[in-house]
Structure 1
Amino acid sequence: MLPTPNTIVPDYRNVPHSHRLPTSHREVQRTFTKLSRQSLASLANQWLAKKNRDFCRPYLLGDRRLDGGDDDDEQYTPAQSHEELQEIYKQLAARKGGKREIQHRILDGDWRTGISMYQLATAEIQYLLDHTNSLRWTAKRLAKIPNGKNLSLDMEVTNDSEHLPRFQAQTFMANLARELTPLMKAHYLLIKIKTMPMTILRVYIHDSPYSTEASLALDNGSSDTARAVFFIWPNGSNFVYSSIANHFGQVISDDGRHLRDIVQQAIPKAFSRPSARYQLASTNFTTKSLDALLAYRGPGKSNAASGGWSIFQDHNFSQNALDFVASQNDHGKEKTGTRKDGAVGATAKAGPGRPKHSLEDKETSAAKRRREVAAGRFGSSAQPNDGLGLERVEVRIDDAFPAMPGAADDADADTSNVNEQPANRNRRGRPSLLDRSLDEIEELEDGDAWVPDVRVVFQGSHVFAGVRQLVEQGVVDGEKMPGWMTGEAGVTIGAVKQGRIRTKSGQVPGACV
């Protein structure tokens, strides 16, 4: 029986690079409006390169002759060749002006027939590189699933890096498309960034395989018809960063998160082989700064060298870390006349036109002591302008409530409602990762001590730099402060018990990364 003309059959082909969206499309207008003048000119020269001309073809003079267009209606005269356009955009990039000039020439002139999916993807990636704090990223760890049949019984020590899969772009993309094609229609772009040590995967999701390419061009005003998801692989690391491409003021719906989770679950399957299966494990680390991600969850020694241990990642000490001796460089810096904050110290040498006594207030011994304690606890990390700021750190205190005098007299009081209060509390919005599980609630009910549901949230442009300033000002006792307040744990969410922070899975941070 032949299908009726109104029957829609699934199309399992991916959206190609050459598929074009109209210049009036919402995503096109919103993306190109945010780019700067230099970024637009750089992208135009990138699209005009020989390797990209097949799916970034501009509107040339020969196309107007074939179309039979009218010269009077054209705002921009088409160029005769790609080389001529390259010279035009080089001249536009060299001179000053507003971004509207280049934006209008791209959308209304040289690419008036439409913007390809490759052009839209590279434009969004360019904006991401220009504004590294524009999206919120979640770090995942690519871990191998242990196989009981292949466990070795000897004491041989192996290197964990040997268990990581090889990242071969074509094979990975073919496996990823095979996993996602039956579920959704999408456009994929995998590109290696030269300016930063990472590889970016952009997946433009179009809900289901029953959606045709023509439906991509429709602009129905809904923000959930398509969704761009970004994934980043730092070079030489076993971590993966994921984020949803949203715009300012746009609320990410549950459908967008669900589509992101589908792609996230397919990534370890694309890496897996019959003899090696992988999974993405949570690291309890979320931030907006890509530089902070590379520092805390990137290649090198920095993953377990936060807080006071950060002095060993700067390569300022030639001796072994196990035989560490305090360097004399810091003592020499204190003898100079200028401190790190730019103030002239009391030891500045007197000279012509300079008074013998400094006009600045002398640093008291207590303030100097607090500054030295902060330097010892934080090391070279948590500097206000280091570009590694974490915007939010949330912890749950799992220590038992301290016994109060006279508590024995009230031991017979009814406390059943006290333990049930955290579980029965109704919170608006999505559930928090710090919410206690059923096993944790049963463990607390079986215990003798009362453990309240106390949560502490540090929020700001640079959380740990703010804590360091509080230590230097004497607001926080730097000697009694727990280590997780210095950033040693390297997580943004976790539970604290007996001064040590633990992740959701119960493992101590640093032992698994």
Structure 2
Amino acid sequence: MAPTASTTGPDFKNIPHSHKLPVTHREVVRTLSKLSRPSLISLALQWLSKKNRDFCRPFLFGDEDPNLEDELEDEEEGEYDAAHSFEELQETYKELAARKGGKKEVLDRILEGDWRTGISMYQLATAEIQHLLDHPTALRWTAKRLARIPNSKSAVQDMEVTNDSEHLPRFQAQTFMMNLAKELTPLMKAHYLITRIKTIPITILRVYIHDSPYSTEASLATTTSSRDSAKAVFFVWPNGSPFVYVSLATHLGQVVGDNGRHLRNVVQQAIPKAFSRPSARYQLASTNFTARSLSALLAYRGPGKSNAAAGGWSIFADHSFSQNALDFITTQKSAALDKSTAGKEGATPGTKPGPGRPKRQLEDSETPEVKRRKEVAEGRFGSSAKANDGRGIERFEVRIDDPFPALPSRNGHQFEETSELDPQPAIRSRRGRPSPLNRTATEAAENDDNAMNSWVPDVKVVFTGQHVFAGIRELVEQGVIDGEKMPGWMTGEAGVTTGSVRNGRIRGKKGGVLGL
């Protein structure tokens, strides 16, 4: 009697660590190909450790089928021989780390040799996290704030961080993951991996979204060219900070379809629900801050220094100034000390001119005007906005909401025709996602109400580059921008990357409190 074919039905299980993807899967090949040789060797040794052997099992000599010995003898000579034990494989990769070689040598051994039967979901997750640590600017992150939702019984408080011990939920990884899986399991199949990084004070959560009712290896191995196929989304928690960094793409420049973006929004909405409890509900509030550098995120939205103390105020935030911020008195001791040390260095015997000795060093060719501009830049930016500080922000955009100034006439009166001008319609020929600075319906209604008194043009200013505020500081030092008349939001002291300017001050795109 022929055996009955087994059928597979939808289930309510998550994808386990041990499920394997074929080595030819596009996610496996793309992720491992981006890693360097040292990273590949380090990952292989991590997979072979005792705590990971259950879901990172390689292909060993004992796994070979004895009925296929004749076929194995006829295979090509270049195939990798199966190792007899985990310890033998560990010694092999230690030898690869000790000598020089190319990345392709290690990659081929992993895919075609030691893990020829497939790469597990745990291995794929650790490989993507390793690439993220090797390239901290590989993704674009949006900072969110985990805020408590006030209820009717408790008094409404500001969004400021106080000394109250209950302003943040207790983070227990196992309980959080159970609550998160409970929220997402009825909606999608997913694989979860949360790990704490030792080199950087962060905790990373990777969620591999599989839009399928099945959680089997066969459904995972199915590849599709659709944009809405299974992808991963990352969440980063800085240690001791109320902020969460969210990345809605696996790699920079990835195009995500509408269905895939909807699934990622579902995961993002489930994060605060996993922290909530009956007596305390939380939400992810926008902070108007987006960047690619993890170090910039930790500087502006990290533990401790998350009060938007940037620009000239940064000297108090990073303790580079010896005085107390509450008892600040400007003195010229530092300038006098610099002059005295410079004079002593110039009077050393090694600088005396003479035969066989170097001539006196040329005096500083900087003019008083150049020194003045540098002092102004130092006062406006403080210790921030340095070219090589590793805290670069690539994009900074603001919308000017100030009314257009009235033009005086020859007899001293003001023209009133400017209040009758209708705002020009926005050009919509360019397709794409709407700008976060587009005026909402409420803001447009406010402008219409105020149109009788003034006219507010639709003006947006966008700064782009590798380090926007470092570039502005350099322009101040070169005299292109007047550092004394420059508004404070151009120094980065607002601590946001998007916002609207009114009366010379910047506010959040939704009118919220900056820096929170």
Answer whether TM exceeds 0.5 for this pair.
Answer: yes
Gaps of 5+ in 2: none
Q: TM-score, normalised by structure 1?
A: 0.90
1:68 shift after superposition: 3.8
1:318 shift after superposition: 4.0
Query: CA 1:35 to 1:67, structure 2 compared with 1: closer, same or farther past 3 Å?
Result: farther
Query: Is the partner of 1:189 in helix, strand or coil?
Result: strand
Q: Residues 41-76 of structure 1, C-alpha deviation per residue, up to 9 Å, x if partnerless?
A: 000000001000000001111112557451453611
1:225 shift after superposition: 1.2
1:452 shift after superposition: 0.2
- What amino acid is the match of 2:481? V
Query: CA 1:76 to 1:268, structure 2 compared with 1: closer, same or farther past 3 Å?
Result: same
Query: CA 1:410 to 1:317, structure 2 compared with 1: closer, same or farther past 3 Å?
Result: closer
- What amino acid is the match of 1:140? K
1:437 shift after superposition: 1.0
Query: Is the partner of 2:190 in helix, strand or coil?
Result: strand
1:164 shift after superposition: 0.4
Equivalent in 430, 437, 442 of residue 439 of structure 1 = 442
Query: Is the partner of 1:144 in helix, strand or coil?
Result: strand
Aligned position for 1:391: 394
Query: CA 1:330 to 1:48, structure 2 compared with 1: closer, same or farther past 3 Å?
Result: farther
1:325 shift after superposition: 3.2
8 A contact 2:227–2:260 mirrored in 1: no
1:81 shift after superposition: 0.9
- What amino acid is the match of 1:76? Y
Provide the rounded CA distance (Å) in 2 between the counterparts of 1:475 and 1:99.
Answer: 47
1:508 shift after superposition: 3.9
- What amino acid is the match of 2:63? D
Provide the rounded CA distance (Å) in 2 between the counterparts of 1:105 and 1:314.
Answer: 47
Aligned position for 2:378: 375
Aligned position for 2:264: 260
> Does 2:451 correspond to 1:450?
no
Query: CA 1:318 to 1:249, structure 2 compared with 1: closer, same or farther past 3 Å?
Result: closer
- What amino acid is the match of 2:64? R
1:507 shift after superposition: 2.7
> Does 2:156 correspond to 1:145?
no
Aligned position for 1:15: 15
Provide the rounded CA distance (Å) in 2 between the counterparts of 1:488 and 1:334.
Answer: 31
8 A contact 1:501–1:508 mirrored in 2: no
Query: Is the partner of 1:280 in helix, strand or coil?
Result: strand
Query: Is the partner of 1:222 in helix, strand or coil?
Result: coil
Aligned position for 2:284: 280
Q: Residues 365-401 of structure 1, C-alpha deviation per residue, up to 9 Å, x if partnerless?
A: 1110110111111110000000000000000000011
> Does 2:36 correspond to 1:27?
no
Aligned position for 2:405: 402
Provide the rounded CA distance (Å) in 2 between the counterparts of 1:170 and 1:55.
Answer: 19
Aligned position for 1:75: 79
Equivalent in 461, 464, 484 of residue 459 of structure 1 = 464
Provide the rounded CA distance (Å) in 1 between the counterparts of 2:429 and 2:186.
Answer: 38
Provide the rounded CA distance (Å) in 1 between the counterparts of 2:407 and 2:385.
Answer: 37
Provide the rounded CA distance (Å) in 2 between the counterparts of 1:259 and 1:400.
Answer: 41
8 A contact 2:437–2:500 mirrored in 1: yes
Query: Is the partner of 1:257 in helix, strand or coil?
Result: helix
> Does 2:479 correspond to 1:478?
no
Q: Residues 114-144 of structure 1, C-alpha deviation per residue, up to 9 Å, x if partnerless?
A: 0000000000000000000000000000000
Query: CA 1:64 to 1:333, structure 2 compared with 1: closer, same or farther past 3 Å?
Result: farther
Provide the rounded CA distance (Å) in 2 between the counterparts of 1:101 and 1:152.
Answer: 61
1:223 shift after superposition: 3.8
Aligned position for 2:352: 351
Provide the rounded CA distance (Å) in 2 between the counterparts of 1:414 and 1:31.
Answer: 57
Q: After the TM superposition, which residues 216-365 of structure 1 pair with which residues of structure 2 at under 5 Å, given as runs?
A: 216-247=220-251, 250-326=254-330, 328-329=333-334, 331-333=336-338, 350-352=351-353, 353-356=357-360, 358=362, 362-365=365-368
Provide the rounded CA distance (Å) in 2 between the counterparts of 1:400 and 1:489.
Answer: 22
Aligned position for 2:181: 177
- What amino acid is the match of 1:431? P
> Does 2:485 correspond to 1:494?
no
8 A contact 1:302–1:310 mirrored in 2: no
- What amino acid is the match of 1:373? V
Provide the rounded CA distance (Å) in 2 between the counterparts of 1:454 and 1:348.
Answer: 61
Provide the rounded CA distance (Å) in 2 between the counterparts of 1:370 and 1:350.
Answer: 30
Query: Is the partner of 1:148 in helix, strand or coil?
Result: coil
Q: TM-score, normalised by structure 2?
A: 0.90
Provide the rounded CA distance (Å) in 2 between the counterparts of 1:280 and 1:335.
Answer: 54
Equivalent in 213, 218, 229 of residue 214 of structure 1 = 218
Provide the rounded CA distance (Å) in 2 between the counterparts of 1:188 and 1:419.
Answer: 50
Query: CA 1:98 to 1:326, structure 2 compared with 1: closer, same or farther past 3 Å?
Result: farther
Query: Is the partner of 1:376 in helix, strand or coil?
Result: helix
Provide the rounded CA distance (Å) in 1 between the counterparts of 2:228 and 2:348.
Answer: 64
Aligned position for 1:341: none
Provide the rounded CA distance (Å) in 2 between the counterparts of 1:469 and 1:49.
Answer: 50
Query: CA 1:347 to 1:421, structure 2 compared with 1: closer, same or farther past 3 Å?
Result: farther
Query: CA 1:370 to 1:223, structure 2 compared with 1: closer, same or farther past 3 Å?
Result: same
Provide the rounded CA distance (Å) in 1 between the counterparts of 2:348 and 2:256.
Answer: 56
Provide the rounded CA distance (Å) in 2 between the counterparts of 1:65 and 1:208.
Answer: 33
1:415 shift after superposition: 3.5
Query: CA 1:330 to 1:425, structure 2 compared with 1: closer, same or farther past 3 Å?
Result: farther
Query: Is the partner of 2:153 in helix, strand or coil?
Result: helix
Provide the rounded CA distance (Å) in 1 between the counterparts of 2:346 and 2:266.
Answer: 58
Provide the rounded CA distance (Å) in 2 between the counterparts of 1:488 and 1:30.
Answer: 40
1:247 shift after superposition: 3.7
Q: Residues 340-369 of structure 1, C-alpha deviation per residue, up to 9 Å, x if partnerless?
A: xxxx999998335333361x7611111101
Equivalent in 170, 173, 177 of residue 166 of structure 1 = 170
1:334 shift after superposition: 5.8
> Does 2:187 correspond to 1:186?
no
Query: CA 1:485 to 1:49, structure 2 compared with 1: closer, same or farther past 3 Å?
Result: same
Query: Is the partner of 2:205 in helix, strand or coil?
Result: strand
Q: Residues 307-337 of structure 1, C-alpha deviation per residue, up to 9 Å, x if partnerless?
A: 1111112223343211123474465446666
Q: After the TM superposition, which residues 39-78 of structure 1 pair with which residues of structure 2 at under 5 Å, given as runs?
A: 39-64=39-64, 68-69=68-69, 70-73=72-75, 75-78=79-82
Divergent runs of 4+, >4 A:
5-9, 333-338, 344-349, 407-410, 424-427
Q: Residues 215-253 of structure 1, C-alpha deviation per residue, up to 9 Å, x if partnerless?
A: 110123334211110000000000000113344654233
Aligned position for 2:132: 128
Query: Is the partner of 1:126 in helix, strand or coil?
Result: helix
Query: Is the partner of 1:162 in helix, strand or coil?
Result: coil
1:12 shift after superposition: 1.2
Query: CA 1:503 to 1:203, structure 2 compared with 1: closer, same or farther past 3 Å?
Result: same
Provide the rounded CA distance (Å) in 1 between the counterparts of 2:428 and 2:62.
Answer: 69
Provide the rounded CA distance (Å) in 2 between the counterparts of 1:165 and 1:225.
Answer: 33
8 A contact 1:246–1:252 mirrored in 2: no
- What amino acid is the match of 1:79? A
Query: Is the partner of 1:201 in helix, strand or coil?
Result: strand
Give me the identity figure in percent.
Answer: 67
Query: CA 1:412 to 1:375, structure 2 compared with 1: closer, same or farther past 3 Å?
Result: closer
Count of matched residue positions in the alignment of Structure 1 and Structure 2: 496
- What amino acid is the match of 1:214? A
